[in-house]
A and B are shown apart, each in its own frame.
Chain A
């Protein structure tokens, strides 16, 4: 079993839709939860960062962490074609900055 599981998609939605992206994990030691966005032929860039459980909102993006269920989510409201990218969840415990990534979900937002 992988430490982090993420549905690879691809996911295609119309412009303006609400998008839900999810990851599950097995390591209860994870404390830091991140969402990275990766455009085609580019390196990943940090989108959202959450420590421990709870919600965090940044504009159209909301990150949720449920440590009791070992489940994290990223919601994108009013999705735009510019949101078309691969979204990777990443997690870490306190071990020297090592990140464990999910497989990534490829999202396409159609105008």
Chain B
């Protein structure tokens, strides 16, 4: 199994600022995913990030708001831009495992926007 770490684990940010979340995997993986988990809500996929190509965003999420970088096969970043209180959430990265449709998740980044 893959071990995934995320930084920061939590942060409190002011409205209008941006935060970059880092995701590090202990092995090389092709596909990485970024999810949002709002209080009382299901995990919602933000985008899929493949190394060497533009991230693919889900409906309702745009690159200007959530720019993603994927510089190599073990690392990705998600930036939450121009934050508002509605962006308060847990952000998780995940990677695809060997078994189809299994994903390993990081511990998450708990973001509060004031």
* A residues in contact (CB < 8 Å) with B: 2, 4, 6, 8, 32, 34, 41-46, 49, 88, 90, 92, 96-99, 101-104
Contacts and interface: CB of A to CB of B under 8 A. Distances in A.
B107 interface: yes
Interface residues of B, number: 25
Interface of B: 4, 31, 33, 40-45, 48, 92, 94, 96-97, 99-108, 110
Of A32, A42, A46, most buried by chain B (CB within 10 Å of CB) is: A46
Contact of A46 (B33, B41, B42, B102): B102
B107 A42 contact: yes
B101 A99 contact: yes
Contacts, number: 59
- The secondary-structure label for the interface of chain A is loop
Contact of A34 (B4, B45, B101, B106): B101
A99 B100 contact: no
9 contacts: A34-B102, A41-B107, A42-B108, A44-B43, A44-B92, A46-B102, A97-B103, A99-B101, A103-B42
Contacts of A99: 43, 45, 101, 103
Given A43-B107, A45-B105, A103 B41 contact: yes
